[in-house]
Amino acid sequence: MNKKIFTTEKDYNRADVYVCEVSEGKTRSFVKKLFESGQVLINGKEAKPAQTIRSGETVEITYPEAVEYTAKPEDIPIEIIYEDEDLAVVNKPQGMTVHLGNGNIDGTLVNALLYKLDKLSGINGVIRPGIVHRIDKDTSGLLVVAKNDRAHLSLSKQIEEKTCKRTYLALLEGNLKTDSGTVTTYIGRSPQDRVKMAVVQPDKGKLAITDYCVEKRFDGYTLCRFDLKTGRTHQIRVHTKYLGHPIVGDKVYGIKKQKFKLNGQLLHAFRLSFVHPTTLKQMTFEAPLPDYFKEILDKLN
């Protein structure tokens, strides 16, 4: 067990809000379990989630030791659109988590890759073998996977140096005023909800740059292309909200009243371009929009 003791610097209306704030990277469900198991004490007494906290009070939180699961092969259908000795390019479906973590110990892309491929790079350990970059669970589209450490290092360097190009399509609420532009902000944990990301002050986050271009306008919606210049968590989703036009179907950053019945945001990584680690040839792949995305566009047409 990992025990941490904090002294509050201001009043809080709810103890669970404070615990979420100081437990960076932990989900609300994780914090809820801490309270349910009696792992949160205020001034030495077991706390309740809705309990108020006053400035200067002592909060003691006992975190359980992290359990590192080993990913196991699972026969899960996935679309591998390219594969050679060094890498594979995968079209990830909406609803699939990329790797183990946050309660996901099976059914992930990694589980499927271990079954489908003969080898994966070991740089990211037993939880994320082969994973060079990731996309959100409810975002669909292209990922490149490394099958050996040499390829992994090459691809990671390309992402770091921004020579690996990642292009997305998204349907936005409302109509953008401009046909193209660049969003440049800093992204970090939201001060109001530590589970979310948000546009923050420079000293509170990391530089995030996204180019955008309108592909097609509909009545009340905009189909837009996005090119990532940086790769921050939830970057496109946060930047579209910042523009005042969140992604249709986004349950975290979108509007509350959704017109369409969707399982997640209409955001698709449709193009991926990089230099092959061995041949040094430029490679570009594209994946068509998934059927549920195209059906919404057809309705709007």
**Between β-strands 79-83 and 58-63, what pairing exists: parallel, antiparallel or unpaired?**
unpaired
**Cα dihedral: 154, 159, 165, 170 (round 10):** 140
Which of these is catalytic: 16, 86, 136, 138?
136
Residue 101 DSSP label: B
Within the chain, strands assigned E span 2-7, 40-42, 45-46, 58-63, 79-83, 87-92, 140-146, 165-173, 180-189, 197-200, 206-218, 221-228, 267-275, 282-286
CA distance 224 to 61: 44
Q: Is 211 a catalytic residue?
A: no
Q: Comparing C-alpha atoms, which of 301, 276, 292 is closest to residue 89? A: 276
The token duo for 91 is 């079209």
Residue 114's alpha-carbon distances to 71, 127, 138, 169, in angstroms, are 8, 11, 21, 29
Residue 109's alpha-carbon distances to 73, 76, 90, 276, 282, in angstroms, are 10, 8, 9, 22, 25
Token pair 């110990």 is found at 105
What positions carry a catalytic annotation? Answer: 136
